Amino acid sequence: MEISDDQIIERTLAGETDAFSLLVRRWERPIYGLSLRMLGRDEDARDVCQETFLAAFRNLRKFRGDAKFSSWLYRIALNACHSRLRKQNGLYEQSIDQEDDDGRKFELADTGAENLPDRLHRDRRAELVRKALQALPPEMRQVIVMKEYEELTFVEIAEVLQIPVSTVKSRVYTGLQQMRARLEKMRGAL
């Protein structure tokens, strides 16, 4: 039987600080994924992921339980992403390709028996989608990332962002429309 986030929080607050590592293991991938899609660079996403869990640990006593722990954690991560984007004056145009510490490109998934033309087409399409996503304003990018990549519901996104569900829906719709228009332009330029 899996222990709930609330039970882990109780154990952590009761002095069992190692219990917090269970929350880190449970939520590290989603927080990293959100950060990577918001910021576009692995190094920045890793930093934000660390900042998020450090802030959550330090402020765990302030977590009131009004919302789910995951919503609170996503909010911390988004705030860290926005802070990082503000520092870069909104002009963040770094490469969004995945690289290791030595700058060598690497692949995220094993393509198995996929043939080369299909793989190249898929990789090119994914690159165009990433570029279109990165070109969106952060408030639209975050709702699309949470909806399409993190698979949160509109209600969960509204809870994380503390905005009305109708605003979330509007931002998703507008953001997807803008992405679609950018993708059309990109395809036309090829």
Domain CATH code at residue 124: 1.10.10.10
Query: pLDDT value at position 134?
Result: 87
92 touches 48 (CB < 8 A): no
Q: Which of 21-30, 101-110, 166-175 has the lowest mean pLDDT?
A: 101-110
Q: Is the pLDDT of residue 22 over 60?
A: yes
Domain that holds residue 141: 112-190
Query: pLDDT value at position 128?
Result: 83
Looking at the fold, whether 13 and 63 belong to one and the same domain comes out as yes
Looking at the fold, whether 87 and 127 belong to one and the same domain comes out as no
Q: Is the pLDDT of residue 101 over 90?
A: no
Looking at the fold, whether 35 and 120 belong to one and the same domain comes out as no
- pLDDT of 132-165, one tens digit each? 888 899 899 999 998 988 888 999 999 989 899 9
Q: Is the pLDDT of residue 98 over 50?
A: no
Angstrom distance (rounded) from CA 55 to CA 26: 16
Residue where one domain finishes, among candidates 39, 63, 92: 92
Looking at the fold, whether 15 and 80 belong to one and the same domain comes out as yes
- Mean pLDDT for 8-25 is 92
What domain count does the chain have?
A: 2
For residue 77, tell me if it sits in a domain: yes
Residue where one domain finishes, among candidates 62, 92, 122: 92
Query: pLDDT value at position 95?
Result: 34
Query: pLDDT value at position 103?
Result: 42
Q: Is the pLDDT of residue 189 over 80?
A: no
CATH of residue 62: 1.10.1740.10
Looking at the fold, whether 6 and 85 belong to one and the same domain comes out as yes
Angstrom distance (rounded) from CA 99 to CA 106: 6
For residue 4, tell me if it sits in a domain: yes
Looking at the fold, whether 80 and 10 belong to one and the same domain comes out as yes
Query: pLDDT value at position 190?
Result: 54
- pLDDT of 105-120, one tens digit each? 433 344 345 567 777 7
185: burial class by Cβ within 10 Å (0-12, 13-18, 19+)?
A: exposed
CA atoms lying within 13 Å on the CB side of residue 31:
29
Residue where one domain finishes, among candidates 92, 126, 143: 92
- pLDDT of 25-65, one tens digit each? 999 999 999 999 888 889 999 999 999 999 999 999 998 88
Looking at the fold, whether 117 and 186 belong to one and the same domain comes out as yes
Q: Is the pLDDT of residue 90 over 70?
A: no
For residue 54, tell me if it sits in a domain: yes
Q: Of 1-5, 56-60, 129-133, which has the strongest mean pLDDT?
A: 56-60
- Mean pLDDT for 71-92 is 81
Pull the structure tokens for residue 125.
Answer: 């399409």
For residue 84, tell me if it sits in a domain: yes
For residue 102, tell me if it sits in a domain: no
Query: pLDDT value at position 114?
Result: 57
Looking at the fold, whether 81 and 135 belong to one and the same domain comes out as no
Pull the structure tokens for residue 148.
Answer: 């399409």
Angstrom distance (rounded) from CA 186 to CA 77: 30
For residue 15, tell me if it sits in a domain: yes
160 touches 146 (CB < 8 A): yes
